[in-house]
A = this chain, B = another copy of it.
Amino acid sequence: MAVPKKTSAIKSTSQHLLGIQNLSIIESKKILEEAKAFISLNRSASKKLDILRGKTQINLFFEPSTRTQSSFDLAGKRLGADVMTMNVSNSALKKGETLMDTAMTLNAMHPDIIVIRHQDSGAPNLLSQKVNCAVINAGDGQREHPTQALLDALTIINRKGKIEGLKIAICGDILHSRVARSNIYLMNMLGAEVNVIGPKTLMPSSVERLGVKSFTDMKKGLDKCDIVMMLRLQNERMQGTFLPSKREYYEFFGLTPEKLRFASKDALIMHPGPMNRGVEIDTKLADDINVSLVKEQVELGVAVRMACLKIYCK
């Protein structure tokens, strides 16, 4: 974790939100602070501001997404922006070239902000070098999903009052997860202690370098944890080389009431969604409003995206 060089920054070093790795503590806290104000707006009867009136927001989604796309769409509209969403089918397109030609075309139309999701790691960075507007990464390959980590942080702060000093477990397919990566960076930066738990085949080889402790045993990994973040298991991992079977995965790594008892007494559960009920999480546990923060994550997600749009939109 290369935290020191970032904490020294006082102002945003970047005009883009490409990843938590590029974010200073001050920037992170500013986003979280701004987002808090939007939580209550979203709960009120009238959810409309004129902050981004006259601004153009383009949602450029190369991968399908229900919740992230909806969340950014509503966030922009509630701030008064003109929002245009483009779902770019990738099947017929040559990657790379397409992204750049699409970027050049959209940039010429003078958007103020582009929200991009792409299956290739680093695509938002490439895009940001070619356009004049701000770029927000809404998930790139297996690299980062910064607004997911920020909404997770806001959700934890909303419930636990802080992140500093907490012990947070991230469980599942750490290897392929951009959610895990962004959360490791952010939770570490904000002063939490992070455990990652998963089968060896789904664990990056030198994950400890990211400043976490790594476990293959839920009992040990969950010990004294205040927050248990479950990751979505991609269907394509569930057979073949990575995992023997869904059933066996659930047996060892699926979060059940029994396994949750290994964690702290008042531990709370999170999941970025959509959930594979009965695979990575017990379905009753997922819906238990006493311990599951899943709904709150979605709710505060809109507030976090509103904050990001407000801050990065020039």
Write the residues of chain A forming the contact surface with B, with a CB cutoff of 8 angstroms.
42-43, 45-48, 53-56, 58, 66-67, 70-71, 73-74, 77-78, 82, 84, 86, 88, 97, 101-102, 104-110, 273-275, 277, 294-296, 298-299, 301-302, 314
Asked if A102 and B66 sit within 8 Å, CB to CB, the answer is: yes
Q: For A74, what are the chain B residues with a Cβ–Cβ distance below 8 Å?
A: 56, 82, 84, 109
Interchain CA distance A298-B84 in the complex, whole Å: 16
Q: Which residues of chain B are within 8 angstroms of A301 by Cβ–Cβ distance?
A: 109
The verdict on A109 contacting B66 (CB below 8 Å), with A46-B54, A84-B77, A275-B101 known, is no
Which single residue of chain B is at the shortest CB-CB distance from A111?
B74
| A70 and B84 contact, Cβ closer than 8 Å, known pairs A97-B277, A108-B295, A110-B47 | yes
Could you say which residues of chain B place their CB within 8 Å of the CB of A107?
295
The residues of B that contact A55 with a CB separation of less than 8 Å are 46-47
Which of B47, B56, B78 contacts A47 (CB under 8 A)? B56
CB atoms of A302 and B48 under 8 A apart: no
Q: With A102-B66, A108-B295, A277-B97 given, is the CB distance from A48 to B82 under 8 Å?
A: yes
**Do A299 and B66 touch across chains, with their CB atoms under 8 A apart?**
no
Q: How far is the CB of A70 from chain B (nearest CB, A)?
A: 6
Contact A86–B110 (Cβ < 8 Å): no
Interchain CA distance A299-B56 in the complex, whole Å: 14
Given A84-B70, A84-B74, A101-B274: A109 and B54 within 8 A (CB)?
A: no
**Residues of B with C-beta under 8 A to A84:** 70, 73-74, 77
> What are the residues of chain B within 8 A of A54 when measuring CB–CB?
45-48
For A47, A102, A107, A299, the residue with the greatest tally of chain B CB atoms inside 10 Å of its CB is: A47
Question: Which residue of B has the minimal Cβ distance to A46?
Answer: B54
Question: Which of A48, A77, A86, A108 gathers most chain B CB within 10 Å?
Answer: A108
